[in-house]
Amino acid sequence: MDHKVPKSAEAFAEAKQYIPGGVNSPVRSFRSVGGTPRFIDRAAGSRIYDVDGNEYIDYVLSWGPMILGHAHPEVVAAVREAAGRGTSYGAPTRVETELAKLIQKALPSMEMIRMVNSGTEATMSALRLARAYTKRSRIVKFAGCYHGHHDSLLVKAGSGAATFGVPDSPGVPAGTTEHTLTVPYNDEAALARVFEEYSDDIAAVIIEPVPGNMGLVPPREGYLQAVRDLTARYGALLIFDEVMTGFRLALGGGQAMFGIRPDITCLSKIIGGGLPVGAYGGRRDIMELIAPLGPVYQAGTLSGNPLAMTAGATTLRLLHETDGFYARLAEATTRIASGLKAAAGEAGVAVQCYSLGGMFGLFFSGQPVYDFQSAQRSDIAAFNIYFHAMLDQGIYLSPSQFEACFMSAAHTEADIDRTVAASRTAFAKVAEYLRNPH
Ligand SMILES: *Cc1c(COP(=O)(O)O)cnc(C)c1O
């Protein structure tokens, strides 16, 4: 039993008897960093509190959604009010259109929008739609990009050139992924080669405009435009998976930040305000293929759920209406990223620290990170020491350097300064380890 968090340890032991690994999503288990995952009791603003009564400054933010901070009073009040009117009807409501309008105002490329219940569902449905529209079967994805857990995208890379997809998980038949081609991110030439080879059979390219699921990896100058140009030249659709980056990098997501208009966009996370929501949308002529207008079937018992729509619409309204929201968010994110980088430098620990909009990430590597392979050269043991040293000081970071960290509007300069101060102790421990690996 972990003496620092006895109640979490006890809750974890009990959960493991009923739930595989004790968690309902694998990375929550702390498996790669070791130790006891904190069982959370409540959260407010920039803080989460575990069942042992410990307080943490939270940079996971439910993996991104809580951009206003936890338990924002207006969001909580709106959800309470909505719950009093019933939690689900299975019939249309006005708040679904309200959320769609708030999304479209920020991402005009989403001319029509369909709500679903998760990011996984959004990308899965977008692929079906892209294949139906183009009457082609192949999909191109990028090594290290994550698009949810459905079968056809559970593929990473063979090294170097494009490979036929080999499933990452047992239970996924090879036949399901044989139409999935994987290329390295930030490598325009590799994508061009795949298009030359399979030109008439690529339905779509799906990409996280700024990958956050191999750690945060910024796109090279001009790269996303090159991806847009190649897809257009070969008549393939460009799907931006902005599940993480939508309303996170900027109000209009990665497409606004880099000035690219994708054909289809997938969203989730922030647009649900902390409740389960996903959405996909894009060009009207493509979206009109979806049932009941067209033949592409896609449905959901709880899709457009009134509580989720209300939390999302309240969140997006605040994001639209708060002057300077994203400028302040980016400023806070830059402040923490440069603070962490300086602290690592003082301790003599080599790191690559990136930040964009309201996302940041740290790799324990002496070399620039620009794709999955370069990300994987990072020192895992060093990260684990750093992670636990931060957690012990009340700083809750993503429990893997191959996940991004997130900033909210509730994080104060004092929170950030405290985090940077804690990181000096943590980097000193890492430096000690690097001198004396054991
Ligand atoms: C989180 C995420 C998903 C999956 O969303 P779920 O709601 O967990 O199914 C898909 N794509 C990206 C880019 C994500 O960050």
- 3-class state of residue 49 by DSSP: strand
Question: How many whole angstroms from its chain centre is CA 169?
Answer: 20
Decide: 255 and 240 in contact? Cβ < 8 Å.
yes
Report the distance separating Cα 105 and Cα 109, nearest Å.
9
Residue 179, phi-psi category: left (phi > 0), alpha (psi -120 to 50), beta (remainder): alpha
**Shortest CA distance to 368 belongs to which of 356, 378, 381?**
378
**Domain locations along the chain:** 2-71+324-435, 73-321
The string of DSSP letters for 297-330 reads ----TTTT-HHHHHHHHHHHHHHHHSTTHHHHHH
Q: State residue 50's pLDDT score.
A: 98
Q: Cis omega before residue 292 (within 30°)?
A: yes
pLDDT at 438 over 80: no
DSSP state of 60: S
Q: Whose CA is nearest to atom 11 of ligand 1?
A: 147
**Shortest CA distance to 275 belongs to which of 75, 19, 50?**
75
Encode pLDDT of 5-60 as tens digits. 999 999 999 999 999 999 999 989 998 899 999 999 999 999 999 999 999 999 99
Q: State residue 251's pLDDT score.
A: 98
pLDDT at 3 over 80: no
DSSP state of 213: B
- Alpha helices (H) along 352-412: 372-375, 380-392
Mean pLDDT within 391-418: 97
Superfamily assignment of 2-71+324-435 in CATH? Aspartate Aminotransferase, domain 1 (3.90.1150.10)
In this structure, CATH architecture of domain 73-321: 3-Layer(aba) Sandwich (3.40)
Which residue of 27, 28, 240, 244 sits with most ligand 1 atoms within 8 Å of its CB, as the best mutation to test the pocket? 244
Q: State residue 156's pLDDT score.
A: 67
The tokens 């806070």 sit on which residue? 332
Distance from the alpha carbon of residue 422 to the mean position of ligand 1, in angstroms: 30
Among 56, 59, 133, 146, which one carries the catalytic annotation?
146
Distance from the alpha carbon of residue 358 to the mean position of ligand 1, in angstroms: 17
Encode pLDDT of 86-98 as tens digits. 999 999 999 999 9
Atom of ligand 1 lying closest to residue 63 CA? 1
The tokens 């003599």 sit on which residue? 348
Among 50, 52, 58, 241, which one carries the catalytic annotation?
241
Task: Tell me how crowded residue 328 is: count the other CB atoms within 10 A of its CB.
Answer: 14
The tokens 């081609």 sit on which residue? 181
Among 50, 234, 263, 269, which one carries the catalytic annotation?
269
User: Which residues line the pocket of ligand 1, CB cutoff 6 A?
Assistant: 118-120, 123, 146-148, 208, 212-213, 241, 243-244, 268
Confidence (pTM): 0.96
Q: State residue 161's pLDDT score.
A: 37
Q: State residue 158's pLDDT score.
A: 35
Encode pLDDT of 241-289 as tens digits. 999 999 999 999 999 999 999 999 999 999 999 999 999 999 999 999 9
Report the distance separating Cα 314 and Cα 186, nearest Å.
36
Question: Catalytic: 146?
Answer: yes
Q: Whose CA is nearest to atom 6 of ligand 1?
A: 119
What's the Rg (C-alpha) of the chain?
A: 21
Question: Catalytic: 135?
Answer: no
